[in-house]
A and B are shown apart, each in its own frame.
Chain A
């Protein structure tokens, strides 16, 4: 049981680093943004995992239930998801402009054109 619960935190660590790998190792800018959103989703998972209470239920009051999970991390993550998509859209906008100016969205090709 103890170990099963830890799996959630391990998956958080693994997803976090899969996203981070895409950000640092992939030269394609869209791939970097996808990696960033995986990284972000991993953080969401960590918060929601911490808000869970054993035997609790979703924090919507109903008769005959007395134990609820913590609503606060859920509120933080709910708004973070919407803010996340807005900032991702901004990132995609910048990538589209880079493509138009440089003709490429591969990092090394952009750097080569900058050196010229």
Chain B
């Protein structure tokens, strides 16, 4: 009961933040508010038992998406001109649709009902079979990596495609290769002159990186996995780039290496699938990777999660550097 009331408090804050985002004329303020919105959303997910999703939303929504939006704002200007167009029509459409959707919610199964249709199909089967077939404690990782490995492979390729798309769009005028425009190691770059960000940042970066690795390799046992870890590792490198300037971040991890990471992770994932085919089973059936099917599942899941983590890190960092490089030319 207390938890539900707390959840409703968080939901009220969510609605208020969303209204503030839409009403704000200053895009910089709106972007910072979206960071807060994501953090509140993550807290809500956590209350709804979705620890993995909360971790992802906090790392991606509150961390990386804010940085990307700010990077785009730096190139497009932060002030919005001319409020809303066709305001009354839009308000009318939105109000009517809200009322229809709210009317439809009365037919939905009761909140938390264990007999709701959504729990009657494969969901409960996954929960029942995970200890027997995959034998890892985190059912979310088992479903993501093993039972629905095809879906996840598809998602990784969507991420890969989006990363390639951003590189195509934004490196068009820099003759295709942002790394050929050497960034001078200008001491004024980054936040090096500001004492507090520098000290706090330098202290935090190694721990964020280490936490990313922990989330990557502990994903079988607790909340975590490749998607979250990729975002956290990318966040630590982005923080380094913001503090020390982009030049030093590119010296540590050049674009060349990042592009290999982007493709390498997806190839590793696909390679595990091909390996299981060569060993005489179906694509992405990890049971044949070791003499014992359960060990095979463990090896397969660790390998594909690693592939996911590498691709997500690579894509997020490539996108970040593409936006930053666009500001220089």
Interface, chain A (partner B; CB < 8 A): 2, 4-22, 24-28, 30-31, 33-35, 37-38, 41, 44-45, 48-62, 67-79, 81-90, 92-97, 99, 105-108
Number of interface residues of B (CB under 8 A): 109
* Cβ contacts under 8 Å, A62 to chain B: 137
Asked if B48 and A52 sit within 8 Å, CB to CB, the answer is: yes
Asked if B165 and A93 sit within 8 Å, CB to CB, the answer is: yes
Interface of A, secondary structure class, is helix
Asked if B84 and A34 sit within 8 Å, CB to CB, the answer is: no
How many angstroms between the C-alpha atoms of A5 and B48 in the bound complex?
12
> What 10 A-B pairs come out closest when comparing CB atoms?
A5-B111, A86-B162, A54-B112, A25-B90, A9-B105, A13-B101, A69-B49, A59-B139, A93-B169, A70-B123
Q: Taking CB as reference atom, which chain B residue is nearest A28?
A: B80
Asked if B162 and A87 sit within 8 Å, CB to CB, the answer is: yes
Asked if B21 and A41 sit within 8 Å, CB to CB, the answer is: no
Residues of B64-99 at the interface with A, using a CB-CB cut-off of 8 Å, are: 64-65, 68-69, 71-73, 75-77, 80-82, 84-87, 90-91, 93-95, 97-98
How many angstroms between the C-alpha atoms of A63 and B31 in the bound complex?
43
Q: Is B185 an interface residue (CB 8 A)?
A: no
How many angstroms between the C-alpha atoms of A59 and B52 in the bound complex?
9
How many angstroms between the C-alpha atoms of A6 and B8 in the bound complex?
10
Q: Is B126 an interface residue (CB 8 A)?
A: yes
Q: Which of A26, A70, A81 contacts B22 (CB 8 A)?
A: A26
What per-residue 1/0 map shows which CB atoms of B109-123 lie under 8 Å from chain A?
Answer: 011111010110011
